């Protein structure tokens, strides 16, 4: 079917030269068409496309990357647990990147510690990525890597000693979300709100603590000591067992939905009712927890908006290194009130008296 076109008839995959031959144009014109550049006649474009189609031509990204110095790909350093947050963020990052014409290279780092992140970054950089996305890393410690591409941090400011050409940050509004969660509980009439926090060295934990503190301080509420978890339901359960015997606790803000689920389970096992005796609000917004008993009140992390916004920023920094960064909007603060929160027993008691 295809005419004998030099090597194109051979055994190897067709190259741009073969397409050029079939289309009757130069390789550069093929390149122009494939890259959507201007200054190509409609006729030439049509012929190139037809030839590429006929030959089953597939562009070689490695060659393009070598010649152009750009890979049109982004590296992602993902935190290693298959939690809803990480997974959801990754899905949205991939989609946003793809829509901007970038492919994704992913490395998981179970702990998110500086060494792990440094290693992941080094590997990504070797592979040749035009930019890197790091989500919510650890608070302390240097990341001892020379990074010569823009780096986007999702959800937290970059570690202080991090050295990169250009560092970008996009917020998920964790502080505001934590404040909203705490305020919701305070509004319900609780005197104060305990927090079941994540590992202390995570940025994500820090923001949530600060938002909670801010809400407490604004109402003049006493700030109880933090409870510690590791994001897992099991750790929430452990914290709940410890907490159950303290009758003064009427409201808990858990820094993650799964911890909230574990916490509630322990509380109920110990005979404390949720939300009648203790209210619990989670953090993340995994829709499945609308279907447990009680349905979990939570705040939704705007992973979709953050990913879109972040990738927009990153792509901008890659493609227009010298331009100003575009302005970024405030992430939405979305409180999802379901069944795990209610007024404290004291209020309910009053209500009960009235209605009895």
Partner DNA sequence: TTGAAAGCGCTAACAC
Partner DNA sequence: GTGTTAGCGCTTTCAA
Give contact residues for a second copy (rule: CB under 8 A).
13, 56, 58-63, 65-66, 71, 73, 80-84, 86-88, 90-91, 94-95, 98, 103-108, 122-123, 125-128, 146, 148, 232-234, 236-237, 258, 261-262, 264-265, 268, 287-288, 290-293
326 close to 312: Cβ distance less than 8 angstroms: yes
Quickly list DSSP for 208-246: HHHHHHHHHHHHT---PPPEE--SSHHHHHHHHHHHHT-
In a 3-state reduction of DSSP, which class is residue 194?
A: strand
Calculate ∠ Cα 329-142-82, nearest 5°.
Answer: 60
Given the complex with a second copy, which of 20 and 238 has the nearer CB atom? Answer: 238
**Residues in contact with DNA, total (CB under 7 A)?**
31
Please identify, using beta-carbon distances, which residue of 4 and 42 lies nearer to DNA: 42
Choose the one of DNA, a second copy, none that binds residue 305, judging by a C-beta under 5 to 8 angstroms depending on kind: none
Which one of 24-32, 137-145, 282-290, 329-337 is the stretch in contact with DNA (CB under 7 A)?
Answer: 24-32
Among 35, 293, 346, 351, binds DNA (CB under 7 A): 35
Q: How near is the Cβ of 123 to DNA at its closest, in Å?
A: 15
Pull the structure tokens for residue 120: 């992941």
Q: Residue 140 touches which of a second copy, DNA, none (CB < 5 to 8 A by kind)? A: none
Helical ranges in 129-173 per DSSP H: none
**In terms of DSSP H, where are the helices of the chain?**
16-23, 27-34, 42-55, 61-68, 84-99, 114-127, 174-187, 203-219, 233-244, 257-269, 303-319, 345-355
Q: Per CB under 7 A, does 72 bind DNA?
A: no
- Does the footprint of DNA cover residue 316 (CB under 7 A)? no
CA distance 121 to 132: 8
16 binds DNA (CB under 7 A): yes
Whole-angstrom Cα distance, residue 231 to residue 27?
54
Does position 68 bind DNA by CB under 7 A? yes
- For Cα atoms 293, 356, 185, give the angle at the middle one, nearest 5 degrees: 40
Task: Choose from a second copy, DNA, none: what does 268 bind? Cβ within 5-8 Å by kind.
Answer: a second copy
Candidates 21, 22, 29, 150; binder of DNA (CB under 7 A) is: 29
């Amino acid at each position: 079917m295809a005419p004998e076109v030099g090597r194109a008839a051979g055994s190897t995959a067709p190259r741009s030269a073969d397409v050029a031959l079939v289309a009757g144009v130069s390789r550069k014109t093929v390149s122009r068409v494939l890259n959507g550049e201007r200054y190509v006649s409609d006729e030439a474009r049509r012929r190139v496309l037809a030839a590429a189609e006929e030959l089953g031509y597939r562009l070689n990204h490695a060659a393009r990357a070598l010649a152009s110095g750009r890979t049109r790909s982004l590296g992602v350093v993902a935190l290693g647990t298959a939690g809803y947050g990480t997974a959801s963020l990754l899905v949205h990052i991939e989609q946003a990147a793809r829509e901007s014409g970038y492919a994704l290279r992913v490395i998981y780092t179970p702990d998110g510690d500086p060494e792990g992140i440094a290693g992941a970054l080094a590997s990504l950089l070797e592979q040749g990525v035009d930019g890197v996305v790091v989500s919510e890393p650890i608070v302390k410690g240097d990341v001892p890597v020379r990074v010569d591409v823009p780096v986007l941090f999702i959800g937290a400011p970059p570690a202080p000693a991090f050295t990169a050409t250009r560092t970008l940050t996009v917020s998920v509004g964790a502080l505001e979300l934590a404040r909203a969660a705490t305020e919701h509980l305070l509004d319900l009439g609780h005197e104060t709100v305990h927090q079941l926090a994540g590992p202390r060295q995570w940025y994500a934990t820090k923001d949530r603590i600060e938002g909670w503190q801010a809400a407490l301080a604004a109402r003049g509420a006493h700030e109880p000591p933090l409870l510690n978890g590791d994001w897992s339901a099991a750790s929430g359960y452990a914290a709940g067992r410890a907490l159950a015997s303290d009758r003064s606790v009427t409201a808990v803000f858990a820094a993650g939905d799964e911890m909230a689920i574990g916490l509630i389970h322990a509380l109920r096992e110990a005979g404390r009712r949720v939300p009648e005796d203790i209210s619990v609000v989670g953090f993340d917004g995994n829709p499945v927890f609308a279907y447990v008993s009680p349905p979990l009140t939570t705040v939704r992390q705007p992973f979709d908006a953050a990913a879109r916004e972040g990738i927009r920023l990153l792509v901008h920094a890659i493609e227009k290194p010298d331009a100003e960064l575009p302005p970024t909007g405030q992430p939405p603060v979305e409180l999802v009130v379901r069944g795990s929160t209610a007024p404290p027993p004291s209020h309910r008691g009053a209500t009960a008296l009235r209605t009895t």
